[in-house]
Structure 1
Amino acid sequence: MTETRRATLKDVAAASGVSRATVSFVLNETPNQTISTATRERVLRTVRDLGYVPHGIARALREGASRIVVLHIESGIGGNYSRSFIQGLDHELTAHGHVLLVRPGAPTGTAAKQILDAIRPRAVLSFAEICRTGDEPGDDDRPDGLAAHAGLQIRHLASRGHTRIALATPADPLPGDVRLRICGRAAAAAGLPPPVCFPVPRSRSAAVAALAAFRAVFPEVTAIAGHDDETALRTLAAMADLGLSAPADLAVIGFDDTEHGAFATPALTTVQIDGEGHGRRAARAALGLEIDGVPPGRARLIVRDST
């Protein structure tokens, strides 16, 4: 079987009728070069026609880094937000000539170091660190930030007359999670005491036992804000097994607007997040570009039956 020869920079230059230096200037978007629009378009058209792909290793050696951005997705992170964030990150990187590599696991350890040493990425991102943003001064006032999204949960429950709220978290929350502090600030702004924490186990029977024990200690809690939709749905299932109903016994609100919430009984009230916008902004920040031109959407409340 004959292997198809890979197109080279020399091939692109010959087919375009320009020098190899000109092709390089166009592909690398080198500033301060007087290349006409017609020539630039002809070179790019030839690149597409020939299927030319720059040699990544050689370019990494020349530029000091490849055009790859690595995103580490730690275990236990999922949902609509992560999927739409990755989509936005990928689209924005592609638009600027970069490639996204998503790697499961933490950005530490021997395997991670081997990958990073081999590909010399332009930037390395940790999704867990991104999820922890929103705990800085002034973030409560940003309508598109994590603090505003989490605060919307608390404000909605407060508007329904609830004065004692709990934050339902995964049983093994990520280290350094800031959601409890963010929700605490939102509660204080509404004149309410800080939410108490309610870890929800993944096992249904364990979640039932945990909810029964929690209500025995905190009978004054009348509403629960879920760390995400999954945690909120586990809370609703535990409530059903205990003969409790939402919102009569406990109001429950989720976070992230996954498709499962609409099919629950009762249907889950939740907060919709513009993960794609956040991903695009993260891409531009990683590339050293201005992020103001890509504003993510505001927090959006999806009101259903559970509150």
Structure 2
Amino acid sequence: MSESTTTKRVTSADVARLAGVSRATVSYVLNDTPRQTISAGTRTRVLDAAARLGYSPSAAARTLRTGRSDVVLCLLPDWPIGPEVGSMLGRLSSALTRHGLTLVVHPGNREERPMTELWKAITPAAVIAYTEFSDADVAAMRAAGVAIVEAVSRRKGRSLAVPQELVGRRQAEHLTRAGHTRLGFAYPDDERVRFFAEPRLAGVRAACAALRLPTPVGLTVPLDPAAAAEAVRRWRATGVTAVCAYNDEVALAVLAGVRREGLTAPDDLAVIGVDDIPPARLADPPLTTVTTDQTVVGAHLAATVVAAISGRAAPDLPAADIVRVVRRATA
């Protein structure tokens, strides 16, 4: 006959018994409650007992006691979580931790599980979203005391995220300063990243329009050498001498197409990517790219969350200062 066992959660009562103090004293010590006179020896006994038992205070109890959760729920669209998004989330988590907040990320689309179910289940202090909320969602969260941070909002006429048009502009400006007057744009074949790709293309177009250059020749480039080689042939047939790729992965595909055609970069076709992923430095030749300081982005978004929770205005993001070209050999 099999015997099932369950693990009993360690409670503050267990810590109190081991330390030889009351549960109230445990609460005062672990919550660093002000205006409580507790000796250094007692405090040490409580902390040692909690560490020995592996005690972790209940988040639900803490929420009831303080009236506020320490969780920040970040809702992502159905994006592929690549190095850049992963870096942003890591920096954001670290920055929120310094404010005593815990980041919980939920990737995917809202059709799989209604957003209302998510925030009600987690009871966060704040919700961050990279898509807009409905008016009903906004009203419900505000009524529940949940702070709302829309990283991108047409209603507010501003973006708390790095403007992707600026990323495209940086690419085009770098290439045109090098003397290129006919540019191409390598568009990704993954529909999930249109959120980034469309504004980057718009930025490249705007930079060319400002210099009265021809409209960039946009082509979709799969991560396939043969398909990329076909795009390279089409660009060269239209006089394109340099390509702004949606990101580094697409740029690496373009470089594969260049090699497949027996050509070289940048002599036959200059290429610039976005994100500065590790393989960009290992490419042959090393890939010129555009990078964003994700430490600043994470700290800014964390400060925005803290401001929203406190009812203060959000700080400005110094986007122009943190988006820069990393010049290597391909452009």
1:180 aligns to 2:201 (yes or no): yes
Q: Which has the larger radius of gyration?
A: 2
State the distance in 1 between where 2:181 and 2:100 align: 51
Taking only the aligned residue pairs, the percentage that are identical comes to 32
- Of 311, 322, 325 in structure 2, the residue corresponding to residue 298 of structure 1 is 322
DSSP-derived class of the 2:230 partner: helix
Shift of 1:84: 1.8
How many Å separate the matches in 1 of 2:45 and 2:220?
A: 56
Residues 70-121 of structure 1: CA deviation (Å, up to 9, x unaligned): 2344445344321221111111111122211223312443276544332122
Higher relative contact order (CA 8 A, sep 6+): 1
- Taking structure 1 as reference, are residues 186 and 90 closer, same or farther at Cα in structure 2, changes over 3 Å only? same
1:271 equivalent among 267, 287, 290: 290
Q: Distance in 2 between matches of 1:131 and 1:226?
A: 24
Counterpart in 1 of 2:142? none
Distance across 1 between alignment mates of 2:119 and 2:100: 19
SS at match of 1:188: helix
CA contact (8 A) 1:57 1:119 kept: no
Aligned length, in residue pairs: 294
CA–CA distance in structure 2, aligned partners of residues 47 and 293 of structure 1: 41
Match of 2:92 among 89, 94, 117: 89
Alignment partner of 2:119 out of 94, 112, 116: 116
Picking from 52, 68, 72, the partner of 1:69 is: 72
Q: Structure 2: state its 5+ residue gaps.
A: 133-149
The corresponding residue for 2:182 is 164
Residue of structure 1 in register with 2:50 after alignment: 50
From the superposition, tell whether residues 266 and 44 of structure 1 become closer, same or farther in structure 2 (CA, over 3 Å).
farther
* CA distance in 1: counterparts of 2:26 and 2:224, whole angstroms: 62
For 1:268 and 1:137, locate their aligned partners in 2 and report how far apart those are by CA, in whole Å: 35
Taking a change above 3 Å as real, the CA distance of residues 4 and 137 of structure 1, as seen in their structure-2 partners, is closer
Report Cα offsets for 1:231-262 as digits up to 9, x if no partner: 11111111221223211221100111111112
Flag the 1:115–1:7 CA change in 2: closer, same or farther, 3 A.
same
Give 1:302's aligned amino acid: V
Report which stretch shifted further, 244-253 or 14-23: 14-23
Q: Structure 1 residues 257, 169: closer, same or farther in 2, change over 3 A?
A: same
**Contact 1:257–1:270 (8 Å) recurs in 2:** yes
Q: Does 1:282 align with 2:282?
A: no
In 2, are the aligned partners of 1:80 and 1:257 still within 8 Å (CA)? no
Q: In angstroms, what is the RMSD of aligned CA positions?
A: 4.3
